[in-house]
Structure 1
Amino acid sequence: MGIAEKIAEIEFEISRTQKNKATEYHLGLLKAKLAKYRQQLLEPSAKAGVKGDGFDVMKSGDARVALIGFPSVGKSTILSKLTKTHSEAASYEFTTLTCIPGVIDYNGANIQLLDLPGIIEGAAQGKGRGKQVIAVARTADLVMMMLDALKGDIQKDLLTKELEAMGIRLNTKKPDVYFKLKKTGGVKLTSMVPLTNVSEKLAQLILHEYKIHNCELVIREDITADQLIDVICGNRVYLPCIYVYNKVDQITIEEVDRIAHLPNCIVTSCEMGLNLDYLLDVMWEYLGLIMIFTKKPGNKPELDNENGIIMRSGCKVQHVCHSIHRDLADQCKYALVWGTSVKFSPQRVGLQHVMHHEDVIQIVTK
C-alpha cells in the first residue's frame, strides 16, 4: 500500500469515527499518523532522477503574493489587470501551465504577484502539478485565493483542505507553545492554562507516535491535538489570506452582499474591473507594509513615493537604519521623528522606537 492510499485510509477512519471523550485518544493518534504520512509525501524521493521544471521564481520586490485557485477562475485576468504582465486568459481550463510573475506598483512598493497554475482536488497528493504550486505558495507573504462566485464556498473549503495538507495554515496564528527536543530527562510537560482539548495522556501518546521520548513542552494556551501536531512537526507556514470572489456580475445582489460581509472576503469582477482598487488597499493592509520618508538636516523631506522607504509594520528605527546602510545603526546617536508614532513633532527617539506609516525620520550620527 502506497503513502497516498494510507492517507486516504486514515482520512476515512477519521471521518467515520464519532468525536467524543471516549474516542479522543484514538483520533489523536490517527491525526498524528496522518501528519507523518503527509510529511513523507512532501519529502523528495531519494530515487528521484532528473528534476523537472519547477515553478519557483526569484523573490523580488518588497513582498510576494501568490494567486491560488482552481482552473479558469480569473487568476490570469487579474494578473493582467493589476500588473503590466500579460498572462494568457481563456475560458477553458489549464490555460496557465507554469508560474507567471508580475509586479504591482502600489504606494511606492513593488509587490510581486505570482499567477500559479490552477489547482485540482488531490493536489497535495501530487495530482496535476499541485505539489509544486503549493510549494511556491509557502514562500509567499500573502495568499490570494481566487474563487468563482457561483461555487466559491465549495472551492474555498477544498482549497483550504489542500493547503492544510501541505502544511499551510491560513489566517491563523502560530500556537503559543514552546517545544524543545532533549537527549535525556524524559518528557517534561508544563501547562500554563487549563487544557480542554489535549490531556497530558493524549500529548504523551502523540509524542510517542513521533518516537519522541525526551523533550520539554510548555503550553501557554488551550490548543487542539492538530495544533500540538503542528508544533511537533515544526514545518508549518502561517500566512494571511484574502478570499477573492470573482465573477460577481453573475450572481444576485443579495448574494454579493452576503459574501462581502464574510471575514477576509472581497467581491470583484476582473472582466469588468469592479472593486480592484479596494482589493489593492486590502492587499497592502494584509501585507503589513508602511512607507517611511527620510529627511536631511536643513532640508525639507521629499514626501513622494519614489523617495520613501518600504518597511514592515512594527519596524523600529534600527530597521530603518539597516535598510539605508548596514553600518548606520552603529553610528546612530539618535533620530528625530515627525508623524503619528510620536507625541509631538519632531521628537527625539532611540533605535527601539516603533515607526508608523508615513512617518518622517532624520538620523543624527555620532
Structure 2
Amino acid sequence: MANGDLSESNHQESIISLLSPVSWLQMDEIKISSDIHLNNQNGNGKKKSDRIIKELTYDKKNKFKKSKNKGKSNQNYKNNSWSGSLWLEMSLLQKIAEIEAEMARTQKNKATNFHLGLLKAKLAKLRAQVISGGDGRGGGGGGNEGWDVSKTGEARVGLIGFPSVGKSTLLNKLTGTFSEVAAYEFTTLTCVPGVFNYKGAKIQLLDLPGIIEGAKDGKGRGRQVIGVGRTCSLILIVLDALKPLTHKRIIERELEGFGIRLNKQPPNISFTRKDRGGITITSTVQLKNIDEETIKSICSEYRINNANFVIRCDATADDIIDIIEGNRIYLPCIYILNKIDQITIEELDVLSQCPHYVPVSAHHEWNLDGLIEKIWQYLDLIRIYTKPKGQIPDYAAPVILKRDKSTIADFCKRIHKQLLPQMKYALVWGQSVRHNPQRVGKDHVLIDEDVVQIIKK
C-alpha cells in the first residue's frame, strides 16, 4: 500500500479494493483482520496520534457494520501517512473445502474428467501452500519441541492412529520404552521414540500423538505428526477393532493430503521441463482415465507451458499431479488391528482377510511376534555377515542393507566410506553365488545371509 491522504470514506474504499483478487461478491459477509497503523503528523513532522484497526466486518447490505479499534483516534486525517497489510478471513482451508465440495457434487464420467482434473490440480496447489505454512495458521503453536527426534538404527517406523487406539501400549510392549498410557484421549503429546532388535537389526519405533480428522489442514498436531511420518521407512496405522474401516478411511485421506502414498509404486511417467516447444505427450499404452487436453489443462494450472511427458502406464489425473509436484513419498504400510479381544471370532476372520492387516491385542500381548515379523518383511531388509581374513564369519553383528540397495559397493559404503576405493575384489559365500567362495566385483548383488570378505588392494 502506498502512502497517501486518508479519510473515513477513502479508507473504506481502499480496503474494498484489496478484495478484488478474490471472488468476494459471492459471500454475504467478509471479515478482514488487519494491523493498520495510522500515524498523524503535524506540520513539523511530529507524530500526533496512532489509530490501530484490529478487525473490521463488511456486509454487502450494511457496508461496514463492525470494527474494533484500539488506541487513540483523531478525526483530522489531513496529511496522514499510513501503511498496513490486510488479508481475508476466507483462508486457504475454506478454498480447499469449496473445491472438495464441488468435486463431491460432480459426477465422475468421461465427460467430467477434464473438469475434475483441473479441480484436482487446484486442490493440490492449495494443499501444498497449507503444508508449507502459506495459510499462516501453523499446527497448533508451541513450536517443535519434542519432534526433532534423531534417527537411529537401520530403519524408522512410525505409529499413526486416532487417540486412544493403543499406540503407546504397543511401543511399551515392543521396545520397553515408557510412553504414558491412560484411559483418556491425547495422553501422548509429543513424539516418543523407542528401539527394538530383531534379527540383528535395530529398528526405531516412534509413538506419535493421535491425529484427528483435518490433521492435514493443521488441526491438532496434525502437521507435525504427518511431517514426522514422511521421514519413516514404514508406517504402522493402528486401528480400533470396533471401528477399523472408518478410522482407516480418514487416516488415509489425511496422509494422502500430505503427499504420502501408502502401499503404492510411483507412476511410470517421465516428466521433463524444457525451454520451448509446448507440451509434448508420448504414451506407450492406451490412456483410459485421462486425455491430452486434461494433461495440458493441469500443466496450465501449474503455469507449465513447455514440457515433455513419457507415459508408460494407464495414468490418472492424480498421477500427473504427483509427478509435477515431485514431493510425493511412497511408503509401505501395515494396518494394525488392535483390541481384537473386543470382537467376535467371525468378525476377526473377515477383517484378517484384508490385505496388509495384522490383528493384535497389545494389552494381552497377542500376536506381537507376528507383527514384528511382518514389520521385518515390509522393511525389506537383508542381513550380510562379514568374514575377516583367516577367521570365522561374525554372525552376531550383521550388516543390514535394503534389498534394492544390496550390492558389494553398498555393503562397503555401509561399513566405511573409504573401504570401497581400497577394495580389490570380494569373496562371497551364500545363495547369490554359484560356488563358495566366489570372487566378485563391486556390482555383485547380495542376498539375505550372504557372507562377504573384502580383499584390499
Shorter-normalised TM-score: what interval?
over 0.9
Note closer, same or farther for the CA distance 1:47–1:273 as it changes in structure 2 (3 Å cut): closer
Superimposed CA distance per residue, residues 141-186 of structure 1 (whole angstroms, 9 cap, x where no aligned partner): 0000000001011100110000001110000001111112222222
Query: Does 2:438 match 1:339?
Result: no
Superimposed CA distance per residue, residues 250-293 of structure 1 (whole angstroms, 9 cap, x where no aligned partner): 10111111222211110000000000011111101111111110
Instruction: For 1:94-243, list aligned pairs within 5 A.
Output: 94-243=186-335
**Paired letter, 2:124:** A
Query: Does 2:129 match 1:37?
Result: no
Q: Is the contact made by 1:171 and 1:239 (CA closer than 8 Å) also made in structure 2?
A: yes
Query: Which SS does the other structure have where 1:278 is aligned?
Result: helix
Which residue is 1:62 aligned to? 154
**Paired letter, 2:355:** P
Superimposed CA distance per residue, residues 195-234 of structure 1 (whole angstroms, 9 cap, x where no aligned partner): 1111111101110111100111111111111111111111
**Paired letter, 2:401:** M
Question: Which one of 403, 424, 437 corresponds to residue 313 of structure 1?
Answer: 403
Q: State the alpha-carbon separation in 1 of the partners of residues 260 and 227 from structure 2.
A: 9
**Structure 1-normalised TM-score?**
0.96
Q: Is the contact made by 2:137 and 2:218 (CA closer than 8 Å) also made in structure 1?
A: no
The RMSD of aligned alpha carbons is: 1.5
The percent identity for this pair of structures is 55
Deviation of 1:115 after TM superposition, in Å, equals: 0.4
Query: Does 2:436 match 1:350?
Result: no
Deviation of 1:328 after TM superposition, in Å, equals: 1.7
Note closer, same or farther for the CA distance 1:261–1:119 as it changes in structure 2 (3 Å cut): same
Deviation of 1:140 after TM superposition, in Å, equals: 0.5
Deviation of 1:324 after TM superposition, in Å, equals: 1.8
Query: Does 2:97 match 1:8?
Result: yes
Deviation of 1:51 after TM superposition, in Å, equals: 7.1
Q: State the alpha-carbon separation in 2 of the partners of residues 362 and 241 from structure 1.
A: 35
Which stretches of structure 1, 4 residues or more, deviate above 3 A after TM superposition? 45-51
Which residue is 1:324 aligned to? 415
Which residue is 2:388 aligned to? 296
Deviation of 1:121 after TM superposition, in Å, equals: 0.6
Query: Which SS does the other structure have where 2:395 is aligned?
Result: coil
Q: Is the contact made by 2:92 and 2:135 (CA closer than 8 Å) also made in structure 1?
A: no
Query: Which SS does the other structure have where 2:206 is aligned?
Result: strand
Unaligned segments of structure 1, at least 5 residues: none
Deviation of 1:48 after TM superposition, in Å, equals: 8.1
Deviation of 1:299 after TM superposition, in Å, equals: 1.4
Q: State the alpha-carbon separation in 2 of the partners of residues 46 and 243 from structure 1.
A: 32
Q: State the alpha-carbon separation in 1 of the partners of residues 136 and 171 from structure 2.
A: 37
Moved more, 53-62 or 241-250: 53-62
**Paired letter, 1:347:** Q
**Structure 2-normalised TM-score?**
0.77
Q: State the alpha-carbon separation in 2 of the partners of residues 122 and 47 from structure 1.
A: 16
Question: Which one of 340, 356, 368 corresponds to residue 276 of structure 1?
Answer: 368
Query: Does 2:144 match 1:53?
Result: yes
Query: Which SS does the other structure have where 1:86 is aligned?
Result: coil
**Paired letter, 2:222:** G
Superimposed CA distance per residue, residues 281-318 of structure 1 (whole angstroms, 9 cap, x where no aligned partner): 110111111111011222111222xx211111131011
Superimposed CA distance per residue, residues 100-137 of structure 1 (whole angstroms, 9 cap, x where no aligned partner): 01111111111111100000011111111111110110
Q: Is the contact made by 1:289 and 1:311 (CA closer than 8 Å) also made in structure 2?
A: yes
Superimposed CA distance per residue, residues 53-77 of structure 1 (whole angstroms, 9 cap, x where no aligned partner): 3423111211100100000000000
Q: Is the contact made by 1:177 and 1:219 (CA closer than 8 Å) also made in structure 2?
A: yes
**Paired letter, 2:441:** G
Q: Is the contact made by 2:129 and 2:135 (CA closer than 8 Å) also made in structure 1?
A: no
- Higher RCO by CA contacts (8 Å cutoff, separation 6 or greater): 1
Which residue is 1:361 aligned to? 452
Note closer, same or farther for the CA distance 1:152–1:139 as it changes in structure 2 (3 Å cut): same
Q: State the alpha-carbon separation in 2 of the partners of residues 301 and 45 from structure 1.
A: 55
Q: State the alpha-carbon separation in 1 of the partners of residues 180 and 314 from structure 2.
A: 47
Higher helix share: 1
Q: State the alpha-carbon separation in 1 of the partners of residues 120 and 385 from structure 2.
A: 50
Q: State the alpha-carbon separation in 1 of the partners of residues 313 and 360 from structure 2.
A: 38
